[in-house]
Structure 1
Amino acid sequence: MDPETQPQSDPPIDLGRAAGGTEYSWIRAVPGGTGTTVLSLLLSNPVPFPALQSALHNLHISHPILGSRLTLTSDSRFSFFIPASHVSPQILRSASSSDFHSLLELELNRNPWSDPLDSAPAEGVPVFFPTLYDLPEPGRSVLALRFHTAVCDRSSAVAILMELMGLMGGGGGGRSDPEGDKEEPSVLLAIEDLIPKKDTWKPFWVRGKDLVGYSLNGFRTSTLRFEDTGSDRSTEMVRLEMTEEETKRLLDACTARGVKLCGAIAGAALVAARSSKQIEEDRYETYSVVTLIDCRKYLEPVLNEHDVGFYHSAITNTHSVHGGEGLWEVAERCHTAYSNAMSNKKHLTDIGDLNFLMCKAIENPLLTPSSSLRTAVISVFEEPVIYRTSELQQRLGVEDYVGCASVHGVGPSIGVFDTIRDGRLDCACVYPSPLHSRKQMEDLVEHMKRILIEGSHVDEGDSAE
């Protein structure tokens, strides 16, 4: 196993809980390369190492799931076990001449969970690994926090970032739950155990019909052009960035058309993907889009962003696009499709179906085009992360940060992690390489950006490609 997975001295005790259905699907996906979540910060001020270690220790106490170890029990069930005492993560520290972007990609592809858990130590494998890279420039460094996605979705990563900066800055962790300190923190239940019963029921025949429908749609959808289907894969990242003025125009255009930003991004991706094929204009191509929904507000009890874990669900839709269509025609269809699915509560009722199909794709890559394990052209989040630089961030010297997850196992051709930072759209776009080349994805992302910018200028009723 990876040296990072060597056991700590504390034996596990029977705390924690068994993994839920969605967590199980991530546990199955991570060894193949999908589901390593990384939060990476570029720091321009020296990092007080004891303060960092103390902050991470406090995060463990506030969020016990971060201190858990993933293990396989004697009855072959995956579980999260909590050690008898809080054991702070040991921060790996190393010098590096690489830049921020390269170190982010390095972290996305470091996988301490790649070996089967049945060969792991009895104590299990930690789910959280922090690394501090010292850069050649004096005082500059990169702090990378790497999580198993089963315990940390995007909302959790943002909350951890806020709490970590608060703790390092000498303040509180930034928890917004006033009840949080009244009882000992515990490992929260899995998403399936928190969905209201009335929102989980679906007739057997309807479930079967939906499974068949999802499967058939998967067979008839198109993909981006594959560059190399035979070589070992890794995750790489390109960024889509806009100015504050460009972002404002785009958001205003979305508002005017009643389309969320995720619909515009998905629409731009589908238009750009079809354009990259250089096929006849009247020929339709059908693509799949996955929209990721933060379900915390739909659960009982309602959770907030400081409740760390994986509480997202997915909605999958297919869309046929021809060469004469522009951004807003496609974006409106993307928005309407996922909105209708949410109105029918498919983000809650279909969790088990999509988890089942995800695991089947992992077991049978031949079910996907060219055994690529691509299940969609693009995945987007229903809502962007909105963040404004604080005085605390400036004092700590946080120059840049990116949060995203690996996708080179099962997953989309491009996963978009969007942030509106100080009024500027900043998207980390991850993709499997060399299935797709960096140039191919840079060209696609640049085309998406151009479509979004040009589409933001057209009048109501017009279209732009």
Structure 2
Amino acid sequence: MDPETQPQSDPPIDLGRAAGGTEYSWCRAVPGGTGTTVLSLLLSNPVPFPALQSALHNLHISHPILRSRLTLTPDSRFSFFIPASHDPPQILRSASSSDFHSLLELELNRNPWSDPLDSGPAEGVPVFFPTLYDLPEPGRSVLALRFHTAVCDRSSAVAILMELMGLMGEGGGGSDPEGDKEEPSVLLGIEDLIPKKDTWKPFWVRGKDLVGYSLNGFRTSTLRFEDTGSDRSTEMVRLEMTEEETKRLLDACTARGVKLCGAIAGAALVAARSSKQIEEDRYETYSVVTLIDCRKYLEPVLNEHDVGFYHSAITNTHSIHGGEGLWEVAERCHKAYSNAMSNKKHLTDIGDLNFLMCKAIENPMLTPSSSLRTAVISVFEEPVIYRTSELQQRLGVEDYVGCASVHGVGPSIGMFDTIRDGRLDCACVYPSPLHSRKQIEDLVEHMKRILIEGSHVDEGDSAE
């Protein structure tokens, strides 16, 4: 499945670097099935293959990390080896009778990184694989871009989508990619860019936090597991709202001072508790992971065009007894992660959470039923907001989804939310058959009802 590659001569040392702490944790997670990022586009117009090849070549040049090869030494040290040459990425092309949704799930479960030493420590494995699927209908296709999450977070994927469409609109880029352009620098990992004043934490506080995170992990509840013994894969369902429903939801969030991520997390917790069909007054404690894009907190400040993984996570637990309404739980979710950010835990706790993530990978028995579930749901602090452009229409981009696999270590549901042309569209990924498609479809449909019904409360009314 991997494209053929030519052995590389010794590149300049400054074209590669060792993986940072967060990148290392993703390198540990990806072989088990979590951390394959996929950006998939449904195209209704024929794809000019040379223009696509040229556009991807230009992306390689603009973002050297995308042409890197992940290497692993016998002493388990991961590095990004970046060849000095600008060889274009090989695009795998194949015919397929599958639909857009099925091809997205197929890509989420293709894992060239399942054995990091498979290709030998010297050559390594590419971190980026493009595939073009020709559909049976004339001119229709699916373009799938698959990345190792260590080099491409959600913000990077959105930026790559915008850049790729821009380059395709120009016929691939137009300029000579081997011209006299200065080689872009390879950015450092997130830990090396956090201001020193924001990384310090007393030793005893760090130990206390590690113990606290560990104990919370033991006492938290999960969704019902349906099959804990079979091999797992990642599947996806979508939560979609109309423009009117989305506007009411966002207005309700604004009226209560709650971000959309708080409302989504709140709906998930209410729906998860309801799915258990247990006594009304019995409390269950659930974990929520909120993912924060840290680019604006770094030195130097980065933007979304700085490709890499620059998110951090905040983990909070919430006890739910079954009588709460949406906004009561949503406000608690919002307040918990906001307070953590005020205390800069999105910067100081990166190392702690990476350590615990790796410990869970090494010791699955530390998680309920050895499921590797670390939370009920993960949400992003901010949604992706996008409006269809004339260029997108001209290129024939009918649909697109960006998300990442979660069937190794991770949440029961990972929410990748987009507000597209005013409509909420969430890709909800989950580990199967640990959870069944029907189970997650029912849960997501319940979440949607909770959000819609909660949004109908008049602005002057108190929260439920």
Normalised by the length of structure 2, the TM-score is 0.95
Q: What's the offset of the Cα at 1:458?
A: 1.4
Q: What's the offset of the Cα at 1:98?
A: 0.2
Q: What's the offset of the Cα at 1:464?
A: 8.6
Question: How big is each residue's C-alpha offset from its partner over 1:28-70, in whole Å with a ceiling of 9 and x where there is no partner?
Answer: 0000000000000000000000000000000000000000000
Secondary structure of the residue aligned to 2:35 is strand
Q: What's the offset of the Cα at 1:119?
A: 5.7
Relative to structure 1, the CA distance from residue 340 to residue 217 in structure 2 (aligned partners, 3 Å threshold; closer, same or farther) is same
- Quote the residue 2:291 is aligned against: 292
Is the contact between residue 14 and residue 81 of structure 1 (CA under 8 Å) also seen in structure 2? no
Q: What's the offset of the Cα at 1:16?
A: 1.2
Is the contact between residue 263 and residue 327 of structure 2 (CA under 8 Å) also seen in structure 1? yes
Once residues 48 and 247 of structure 1 are traced to their aligned partners in structure 2, the CA distance between those partners, rounded to angstroms, is 36
Secondary structure of the residue aligned to 1:420 is strand
Question: How big is each residue's C-alpha offset from its partner over 1:411-433, in whole Å with a ceiling of 9 and x where there is no partner?
Answer: 00000000000000000000000
Moved more, 321-330 or 117-126: 117-126
Relative to structure 1, the CA distance from residue 173 to residue 369 in structure 2 (aligned partners, 3 Å threshold; closer, same or farther) is farther
Secondary structure of the residue aligned to 2:58 is helix
Moved more, 328-337 or 78-87: 78-87
Aligned residues: 464
Is the contact between residue 199 and residue 345 of structure 1 (CA under 8 Å) also seen in structure 2? yes
Secondary structure of the residue aligned to 1:39 is strand
Question: How big is each residue's C-alpha offset from its partner over 1:186-214, in whole Å with a ceiling of 9 and x where there is no partner?
Answer: 21000000000000000000000000000
Is the contact between residue 5 and residue 126 of structure 1 (CA under 8 Å) also seen in structure 2? no
Is the contact between residue 374 and residue 413 of structure 1 (CA under 8 Å) also seen in structure 2? yes
Secondary structure of the residue aligned to 1:118 is coil
Secondary structure of the residue aligned to 1:237 is strand
Once residues 382 and 126 of structure 2 are traced to their aligned partners in structure 1, the CA distance between those partners, rounded to angstroms, is 30
Question: How big is each residue's C-alpha offset from its partner over 1:144-198, in whole Å with a ceiling of 9 and x where there is no partner?
Answer: 0000000000000000000000000008989x99999985302100000000000
In the alignment, structure 1 segments of 5+ residues that lack a partner are none
- Quote the residue 2:159 is aligned against: 159
Once residues 4 and 409 of structure 1 are traced to their aligned partners in structure 2, the CA distance between those partners, rounded to angstroms, is 28
Is the contact between residue 288 and residue 376 of structure 2 (CA under 8 Å) also seen in structure 1? yes
Percentage of matched positions with identical amino acids? 97
Once residues 172 and 344 of structure 2 are traced to their aligned partners in structure 1, the CA distance between those partners, rounded to angstroms, is 37
Q: What's the offset of the Cα at 1:11?
A: 7.4
Relative to structure 1, the CA distance from residue 85 to residue 5 in structure 2 (aligned partners, 3 Å threshold; closer, same or farther) is closer
Secondary structure of the residue aligned to 2:456 is coil
Q: What's the offset of the Cα at 1:88?
A: 1.2
Relative to structure 1, the CA distance from residue 114 to residue 416 in structure 2 (aligned partners, 3 Å threshold; closer, same or farther) is same
Is the contact between residue 451 and residue 464 of structure 1 (CA under 8 Å) also seen in structure 2? no
Once residues 411 and 34 of structure 2 are traced to their aligned partners in structure 1, the CA distance between those partners, rounded to angstroms, is 10
Relative to structure 1, the CA distance from residue 116 to residue 184 in structure 2 (aligned partners, 3 Å threshold; closer, same or farther) is closer
Is the contact between residue 290 and residue 314 of structure 1 (CA under 8 Å) also seen in structure 2? yes
In the alignment, structure 2 segments of 5+ residues that lack a partner are none
Q: What's the offset of the Cα at 1:87?
A: 1.6
Question: How big is each residue's C-alpha offset from its partner over 1:385-436, in whole Å with a ceiling of 9 and x where there is no partner?
Answer: 0000000000000000000000000000000000000000000000000000
Secondary structure of the residue aligned to 1:45 is coil
Question: How big is each residue's C-alpha offset from its partner over 1:357-383, in whole Å with a ceiling of 9 and x where there is no partner?
Answer: 000000000000000000000000000
Is the contact between residue 13 and residue 83 of structure 1 (CA under 8 Å) also seen in structure 2? no
The 5 Å alignment of 1:4-153 reads 15-73=15-73, 76-117=76-117, 120=120, 122-153=122-153
Q: What's the offset of the Cα at 1:122?
A: 1.8
Is the contact between residue 11 and residue 82 of structure 2 (CA under 8 Å) also seen in structure 1? no
Is the contact between residue 60 and residue 67 of structure 1 (CA under 8 Å) also seen in structure 2? yes
Relative to structure 1, the CA distance from residue 98 to residue 33 in structure 2 (aligned partners, 3 Å threshold; closer, same or farther) is same
Once residues 284 and 75 of structure 1 are traced to their aligned partners in structure 2, the CA distance between those partners, rounded to angstroms, is 45
Once residues 227 and 137 of structure 1 are traced to their aligned partners in structure 2, the CA distance between those partners, rounded to angstroms, is 37
Once residues 178 and 241 of structure 1 are traced to their aligned partners in structure 2, the CA distance between those partners, rounded to angstroms, is 40
Secondary structure of the residue aligned to 1:386 is strand
Is the contact between residue 12 and residue 81 of structure 1 (CA under 8 Å) also seen in structure 2? no
Q: What's the offset of the Cα at 1:116?
A: 3.3
Shift >2 Å, 4+ stretches = 1-15, 73-76, 116-121, 171-174, 176-184, 459-465
Once residues 88 and 10 of structure 1 are traced to their aligned partners in structure 2, the CA distance between those partners, rounded to angstroms, is 18
Relative to structure 1, the CA distance from residue 57 to residue 177 in structure 2 (aligned partners, 3 Å threshold; closer, same or farther) is closer
Once residues 347 and 178 of structure 2 are traced to their aligned partners in structure 1, the CA distance between those partners, rounded to angstroms, is 27
Q: What's the offset of the Cα at 1:323?
A: 1.2
Relative to structure 1, the CA distance from residue 445 to residue 70 in structure 2 (aligned partners, 3 Å threshold; closer, same or farther) is same
Relative to structure 1, the CA distance from residue 2 to residue 120 in structure 2 (aligned partners, 3 Å threshold; closer, same or farther) is farther
Is the contact between residue 72 and residue 116 of structure 2 (CA under 8 Å) also seen in structure 1? no
Secondary structure of the residue aligned to 1:271 is helix
Q: What's the offset of the Cα at 1:73?
A: 3.5
Is the contact between residue 383 and residue 418 of structure 2 (CA under 8 Å) also seen in structure 1? yes
Secondary structure of the residue aligned to 1:14 is helix
Moved more, 111-120 or 136-145: 111-120
Once residues 33 and 132 of structure 1 are traced to their aligned partners in structure 2, the CA distance between those partners, rounded to angstroms, is 22
Is the contact between residue 31 and residue 111 of structure 2 (CA under 8 Å) also seen in structure 1? yes
Relative to structure 1, the CA distance from residue 186 to residue 237 in structure 2 (aligned partners, 3 Å threshold; closer, same or farther) is same
Question: How big is each residue's C-alpha offset from its partner over 1:3-25, in whole Å with a ceiling of 9 and x where there is no partner?
Answer: 77896799796621100000000
Relative to structure 1, the CA distance from residue 301 to residue 3 in structure 2 (aligned partners, 3 Å threshold; closer, same or farther) is closer
After superposition, the CA RMSD in angstroms is: 2.8
Is the contact between residue 21 and residue 352 of structure 1 (CA under 8 Å) also seen in structure 2? yes
Secondary structure of the residue aligned to 1:238 is strand
